[in-house]
Amino acid sequence: MLFSTVAIASQPHIIRHFSIYEKRNAYCAWPAIARAENGDIVVLFTRTEEHMSPNGEIMLVRSTDNGETWLPPSVIYDTLVDDRESGITVLHDGRLLTHLRSVRFEPSTYTSLPDTAYPPELIERWIGYVEKPEYKNATHLHRAWQTISSDNGYTWSDPQPSRDSIHGGIQLASGSLLVASYRDNGGNIGVYKTENTETPWRQVATVECPQLDKIRFGEPHILQLPSGRIVMMIRATAKPYDDGSPLCYAWGTYSDDDGETWAPAYETPLWGFPPHLTLLSDGRVLCTYGHRRPPYGQRAAISEDGVNWSVENEFILRDDAPNKDLGYPVSIELEPGKILTVYYQPNVPPGVKPATHPPLPNRKKPGILGTIWKLPSADKEPSTIQLESRRELFVDDFLIHRLENVKKTLHRPQREKVALTFDKPWEGIYSAYPTVIKDGDLYRMYYRGMPKAGTDGQIVTCYAESQDGITWTKPSLGIHKIHGTRKNNVILDGGWDFSSAFTPFLDTRPGVPESERFKAVSGVEEKGLAAFVSSDGIHWKRWGPEYIITKGMFDSQNVAFWSPSEQRYICYFRTWTGERFSGYRTISRTTSPDFLNWDEPEAMTFGNTPMEHLYTNGTRPYFRAPHIYIALAKRFLPGKPALQKDLAETLLSNPKHGMDSSDAVFMTSRGGNAYDRTFMEAFIRPGGSMEDWVARDNTPGLGIVPGNEREMFLYRMSHYGQPTGHLTRYSMRTDGFASLSAPYQGGEVTTKPFTFRGDQLIINYATSAAGEIRVEIQDADGLPLSGYTLSDCLPIFGDEIKRNVAWKSKKIVSTLQGKPIRLRFYLKDADLFSMKFSPDV
């Protein structure tokens, strides 16, 4: 894979989204764009009844004021067959060359469609249309065509045979015309050339594509750079057809000899399709493409050379589409740095959720939409962050602009002693899914009791508590009669449906009634999650409808909480990337204003990282920085056994649990459907005991809790499926998940610009005796502020959770409140864990 590693790009400024053309009963899609010789912007698109209708037509819509307003459309090409997928090539003499494809469908096209594809009466009407004699006899129309306009798109010549080109081609400096075509090339990309518009196209090259058994390549676009190099981007779709597959990354190649030979095709890190390339006035290359997995919408990326691409230079233009019937964005530069992108998707107001399937009467068909936006310049700095008085942990790149001889370091917790053994008859070897909550001075723990495997045994939810998070007791609650006695610590006798993964939380929403102070979700695969409430965390009752969330698989520990930063309830739950229990175990999320009515779920994304089985998600707001969600997830590696067969049979009641491995990983999120996986390494390794190397062991307990001023506690399942099963306590430095770390030689960190509120800058840090930390405050442009320079800063060394930064003549920073500033940290043999502006010393 070819891609660059560059600084994180700032997001573009969206000026406005708007509708160019839509019609209630028309399906409008697949736009092409060009600027005519007279300055008009012309957009071609297909108008038809549905995606698979037999009689589409090519429409043209025009703007005479640089995209601000649009004239009514006109039909420029319409035959009795389906005319679709136009592309435009702007010729040196100002003429417009349009490529299009006419398709004559056979009746079998419609008789072979699934019953759920379209309403039966619509299929019947289409079949009647394609069985008309004049349609059957139109075999000569079934091919690619081209037509030319010499008057800026007002009139067009008679069509001539051509090659398909979804976005159009290019005219080379030599005058020859070049297109890339994917049909009739056996899965590869054909490159065709002609000397002028009157001579036939001849194939001059073939771009060989790999993995043709897994990937369908198509819809390429080409662009010639000022250097003469021709770059190409190609759509990739999984076989069998899956436009949400991890295989749908755009592929690239290039030619340095006018398209006669091409470099081997390579996968780029840009997920989406089909790609459209635009040469910008500053020499960079813009690629726009649709994004057909949540969040649905349109995206763009910038490359310095059209060959090397990075998701760090990817922009989200829209992420509000109601479904995946979208894409094909095409772009032109209106003026330097100002872009018009045209695409198709349903035009749906925020909050409206139309039906997505054609048979449903309230389905909103897609229209031709546009977005005008400003592109960050090549050297533009990120916009100012409103930091306020939040504590920031250096667990991601949110605040970081530049690192020099400094690295982000993941720290691992210290294994302590056994916190709790599962030694009661109602607990047993399959006890699992612990949740720990700090409620005032009391630590509460909830976990599954499950002595036998399977769903037909007595499965319960157990409770323990502690005054210090170290020593735990199991109170005799007398709520349920279990194994013939009420002297037990069971709070819920919910069976498989509601006790297999009962997950509570302390509701911190302001104004929550006392009777609902504790809430929980619990459920079972393929049915859904139910809501529970409690006033004391011990006595629970069902609440609301039978199931509050139903779109998921839920075959794991599903978690919920109130988010003060998003002002919503959030639920993270188990889904799979494939149908039912196939593909990868992964995570989705949904939100709610009231815990009972939940939005459409969104699949979580993980940045440009490989997919892994994530057995649990373990997501909770961090108690010292609740706008940052810490996710301690169990990573599962099926088919990777650490135990030999005879040892698995000795240790485990179910030896199959020895055939896989697992560990714990660290992820973060700042809301939305994205996890940050800066650190791919294990956060907690299984350890030196073979009893911990079993398939469903190593599950991190849900909840990181304060232990004392310097430490926080977390917990992990150990010896799952064995008589020695227990919960292990781990300790970790407060805020100490990750740090900015510099060696003895020293290094520097510069933040992005931000504003703050507070009197003092407080850091959590550690150095060696020879090490130190100094801090400089700069203005937004990176110039040091008088009195706050690096040389003015009093050196900091030691190991403190809370240390006030001071300068020779400045001990407070309140005069800088509300002003955009940057921080420059100098670190020598030091770790910086967190920072915060606060009135507290």
Q: What is d(CA 805, CA 810) in angstroms, rounded to the nearest whole number? A: 9
Mean pLDDT along residues 577-599: 94
Q: What is d(CA 63, CA 625) in angstroms, rounded to the nearest whole number? A: 49
Mean pLDDT along residues 699-717: 96
With a CB cutoff of 8 Å and minimum separation 6, the contacts of 485 are: none
Give 9's pLDDT tier (boundaries 50, 70, 90): very low
Give 532's pLDDT tier (boundaries 50, 70, 90): very high
Which range is least confidently modeled, 131-135, 177-181, 490-494, 693-697?
A: 693-697
Asked if residue 310 has pLDDT above 80, the reply is yes
Q: What is d(CA 832, CA 459) in angstroms, rounded to the nearest whole number? A: 45
- Beta strand 738-742 pairing with 747-751: unpaired
Burial track 320-340 (b if 16+ CB lie within 10 A, e otherwise): ebbbbbbbbbbbbbbeebebb
pLDDT of residue 355: 61
Mean pLDDT along residues 252-279: 94
Q: Which of 79, 697, 132 is nearest to 430 (CA)?
A: 697
Q: How far is CA 231 from CA 249, 253, 263, in A?
A: 16, 6, 10
The pair of structure tokens assigned to 230 is 């021709």
Asked if residue 440 has pLDDT above 60, the reply is yes
Give the model confidence (pLDDT) of 500-525 as tens digits: 999 999 999 999 999 999 999 999 88
Q: What is d(CA 718, CA 592) in angstroms, rounded to the nearest whole number? A: 34
Give 116's pLDDT tier (boundaries 50, 70, 90): confident
Q: Which of 748, 833, 817, 826 is nearest to 794 (CA)?
A: 826
Q: What is d(CA 189, CA 266) in angstroms, rounded to the nearest whole number? A: 13
pLDDT of residue 87: 95
pLDDT of residue 282: 86
pLDDT of residue 358: 64
Q: How many residues does the chain have?
A: 841
| Chain position carrying tokens 């942990």 | 393
Burial (CB count <10 Å: 0-12, 13-18, 19+), residue 466: buried
Give the model confidence (pLDDT) of 138-147 as tens digits: 999 999 999 9
Give the model confidence (pLDDT) of 47-74 as tens digits: 999 999 999 999 999 999 999 999 999 9
Q: Which of 142, 32, 21, 25 is nearest to 74 (CA)?
A: 21
Give 356's pLDDT tier (boundaries 50, 70, 90): low
Instruction: Name all contacts of 422-425 with Cβ < 8 Å and 24+ positions apart.
Output: 422/447, 422/449, 422/725, 422/726, 422/727, 424/449, 424/462, 424/474, 424/488, 424/489, 425/451, 425/483
Angle in degrees, CA 543, 545, 549, rounded to 5: 100
Q: What is d(CA 664, CA 660) in angstroms, rounded to the nearest whole number? A: 14
SS3 content of the chain, % helix, strand, coil (to 5): 5, 45, 50
Asked if residue 4 has pLDDT above 60, the reply is no
Give the model confidence (pLDDT) of 195-219 as tens digits: 999 999 999 999 999 999 999 999 9
Asked if residue 526 has pLDDT above 80, the reply is no
In the chain, pLDDT over 90 holds for what percent of residues? 81
| 456: three-class secondary structure by DSSP | coil
Q: What is d(CA 287, CA 370) in angstroms, rounded to the nearest whole number? A: 16
3-state secondary structure 545-611: CCCCECCCCCCCCCEEEEECCCCEEEEEEEEECCCCCCCCEEEEEEEECCCCCCCCCEECECCCCCC
Give the model confidence (pLDDT) of 377-407 as tens digits: 655 445 799 999 999 999 999 999 988 899 9
Q: What is d(CA 686, CA 664) in angstroms, rounded to the nearest whole number? A: 8
Mean pLDDT along residues 238-261: 92
Give the model confidence (pLDDT) of 740-794 as tens digits: 999 999 999 999 999 999 999 999 999 999 999 999 999 998 899 999 999 999 9
DSSP 52: T
Give the model confidence (pLDDT) of 24-49 as tens digits: 889 999 999 999 999 999 999 999 99
Q: How far is CA 788 from CA 47, 324, 342, 776, 822, in A?
A: 63, 51, 48, 6, 11
Asked if residue 668 has pLDDT above 90, the reply is yes
Give the model confidence (pLDDT) of 542-569 as tens digits: 999 999 999 999 999 999 999 999 999 9
* pTM of the predicted structure, to 2 decimals: 0.60
pLDDT of residue 381: 47
- Tell me how far apart the terminal alpha carbons of the chain are, to the nearest angstrom: 49
Q: Which of 629, 615, 616, 624 is nearest to 668 (CA)?
A: 629
Give the model confidence (pLDDT) of 410-423 as tens digits: 999 999 999 999 99
| Residues 340 and 322: beta-carbon distance below 8 Å | no
With a CB cutoff of 8 Å and minimum separation 6, the contacts of 529 are: 521, 522, 523, 547, 548, 549, 550, 552, 554, 558, 571, 573
Which range is least confidently modeled, 6-10, 189-193, 482-486?
A: 6-10
| Residues 201 and 143: beta-carbon distance below 8 Å | no
Asked if residue 345 has pLDDT above 90, the reply is yes
Give 361's pLDDT tier (boundaries 50, 70, 90): low
Q: What is the largest CA-CA distance in the chain?
A: 93
Give the model confidence (pLDDT) of 625-662 as tens digits: 999 999 999 999 998 988 888 887 788 777 777 788 99
Q: What is d(CA 585, CA 613) in angstroms, rounded to the nearest whole number? A: 5
| 230: three-class secondary structure by DSSP | strand
Q: Is residue 507 left, alpha or beta, with left meaning phi > 0 and alpha meaning psi from -120 to 50?
A: beta
Q: What is d(CA 249, CA 608) in angstroms, rounded to the nearest whole number? A: 11
In the chain, pLDDT over 70 holds for what percent of residues? 96
3-state secondary structure 342-394: EEEECCCCCCCCCCCCCCCCCCCCCEEEEEEEECCCCCCCCCCEEEECCCEEC
The pair of structure tokens assigned to 805 is 């930064």
Mean pLDDT along residues 293-300: 92
Mean pLDDT along residues 65-87: 95
pLDDT of residue 151: 97
Average pLDDT value for the chain = 92
Q: CA torsion angle for 119, 122, 128, 132 (degrees, to 10)? A: -140
Asked if residue 284 has pLDDT above 80, the reply is yes
With a CB cutoff of 8 Å and minimum separation 6, the contacts of 495 are: 455, 458, 459
- Beta strand 754-756 pairing with 385-388: parallel
Mean pLDDT along residues 346-363: 69
Give 1's pLDDT tier (boundaries 50, 70, 90): very low
pLDDT of residue 382: 52
| Residues 319 and 297: beta-carbon distance below 8 Å | yes
